[in-house]
Amino acid sequence: MPVITYRQALNDTLGEELARDPNVLLMGEEIGVFQGSYRVTEGLLQEFGPKRVVDAPIAEEGFVGLATGAAMLGLRPVVEIMTINFILVAVDQIVNHASKIHYMFGGQVRVPLVVRTPSGGIGQLAATHSQSFENWFAYCPGLKVVAPSTPYDAKGLLRSAIRDDDPVIFIESLALYDTKGDVPDGEDYTVPIGVAEVKREGTDVTVVSYSRMTVITMQVAQRLEGEGISVEVVDLRTLRPLDRSTIVNSIKKTNRAVVISEDWRSYGIGAEVAATIQEEAFDYLDAPVQRVAGVEAPLPYAARLSQASKPGAPHLIEAIHNVLEGTRKQ
C-alpha cells in the first residue's frame, strides 16, 4: 500500500472526483493558477480547465453563496476557504442558507456542497489566523462536519463528503498536510460520515480526540506504553453527527476518559464529548473526565507564548496521569 501525504490524499481525491462526476467543480481563492495556498489543488486547473477549477475573488460570502445556489441546481461544488478564520465572512451563507434549505423547502431541494478549510494554528500566525471554529458548525443542525487525522481518512471522508447530498464542512489541519500514511492505490473506498474509529486498543484509559490531536494522542499512547499505561485512542473523525456509541463503548471498557481538542475549552467539542460520557456512561467511570484544550485567550504571536497556548503532549500526559490517580486537575 503506497505511503502518501495528507495533502496528496486530498489532491488525488479531488482529481478523481472531478474525473468521475462532471457535476463536481472546485471554487476558491488562488486554487487554480496559483494551485492553492497549500498546494492541495496542484495540477487540477491544467487537467480540468477553468470551468471546473474556478479562481474566486476575495469575497467568501459571495462565492459560498454562489456555490450554494449551484448545489441547489444539481452541481456538486467543493469550495476551498483559505483558512477557517476567513470562513466567518461566509457564516450567513452556510448557517442561514446552506444548512437550512433542505428543511425549509420541505425536502424538495438538496444542497450537495462541500466547504474545505484548514483549522488550528501552526507556527507564528497570531490571533486571527490560528483559531479553531469547527464547534461553531458542529453546533448547527443541517450541516455535517468532518475532521480527519490521517491521509487514509482524509481521502475516504472527502470522497464521502463530495458524494453526500447534504452540506459538509470538511476540516483539515495546517499541521497535517505533510504527514504521511498508507492509502490504497486505485481503490474507490469511502470512510462513512458519522462513524468514529478506535485507532489504538487500550485498557487503562480512553483518550477521545480528532484531527491533529489524534496524531499527538497516538504519539503519547506509544510513549506511555513504556510506563505500563495502556491508552485506547478514539478518533472522532466526524464531529456532526457525533458517534456517541463508539465513545461510550470505549469508556465502558477502560472506565476512565480524557478528551483533547485544539479549540478553547469552554463550549467546545471536548465539552460535548464530556457531557456525552457523563450522560451515557457515568456509572462506568472510576474518575472524573479530564479535558485538555487551548488556553482561553487570543493566540499570541511570540513563539514561546504561542507554543504555550496550544494543547500538546505534556498537557495530555498530565491529564492521563491525573485521571489514573482519580484526581481532578485544579
Domain ranges for the chain:
3-182, 197-325
- For cell 472527502, name the residue: 158
* 3 state DSSP class of 123: coil
Distance (Å, whole) CA 222 – CA 229: 9
Catalytic (active site) residue 60: yes
Peptide bond into 141 cis (omega under 30): no
Low-confidence ranges of the chain (pLDDT < 50): 328-330
Instruction: Count Cβ atoms within 10 A of the Cβ of residue 43 and give its class: 0-12 exposed, 13-18 middle, 19 or more buried.
Output: middle
| Helices assigned H by DSSP within 173-268 | 212-225, 244-254
Closest residue by Cα to residue 241 from 130, 172, 160, 187: 160
| Catalytic residue, candidates 17, 97, 102, 129 | 129
The single-letter DSSP state of residue 13 is H
259-279 tens-digit pLDDT: 999 999 999 999 999 999 999
Looking at residue 330, what is its pLDDT? 39
Distance (Å, whole) CA 307 – CA 304: 5
Radius of gyration of the chain (CA): 20
Q: Dmax of the chain from CA atoms? A: 59
Residue 218 gets the label, from left (phi > 0), alpha (psi -120 to 50) or beta, of alpha
Distance (Å, whole) CA 16 – CA 159: 9
- For cell 462526476, name the residue: 21
Q: Which CATH class is domain 197-325?
A: alpha beta
Q: What is the DSSP string of 241-284?
A: S--HHHHHHHHHHHS-EEEEEEEESTTSHHHHHHHHHHHHHGGG
Looking at residue 273, what is its pLDDT? 98
Distance (Å, whole) CA 87 – CA 28: 12
Residues 6+ apart with CB under 8 A from 99: 140, 141, 142, 143, 167
Catalytic (active site) residue 129: yes
| Helices assigned H by DSSP within the chain | 6-20, 44-48, 60-72, 91, 101-104, 134-138, 151-163, 212-225, 244-254, 269-281, 303-309, 313-325
Looking at residue 326, what is its pLDDT? 66
Fold matches, 3-182 and 197-325: yes
| Residues forming a β-bridge with 77 | 25
CA torsion sign for 181, 184, 186, 192 is: negative
- For cell 501525504, name the residue: 5
Distance (Å, whole) CA 69 – CA 192: 26
207-234 tens-digit pLDDT: 999 999 999 999 999 999 999 999 999 9
Q: What are phi and psi of 30, to 5 degrees?
A: 65, 25
The single-letter DSSP state of residue 289 is P
Pairing between strand 53-55 and 114-119? Answer: unpaired
Looking at residue 88, what is its pLDDT? 95
Looking at residue 328, what is its pLDDT? 44
Helices 6-20 and 151-163 pack at an angle, to 10 degrees, of 30
| Residues forming a β-bridge with 53 | 26
| Catalytic residue, candidates 60, 134, 197, 232 | 60
Enter the pTM of the model. Answer: 0.95
Amino acid present at 238: T
CATH number for the region 3-182 comes to 3.40.50.970
Check: CB of residue 166 under 8 Å from CB of residue 136: no
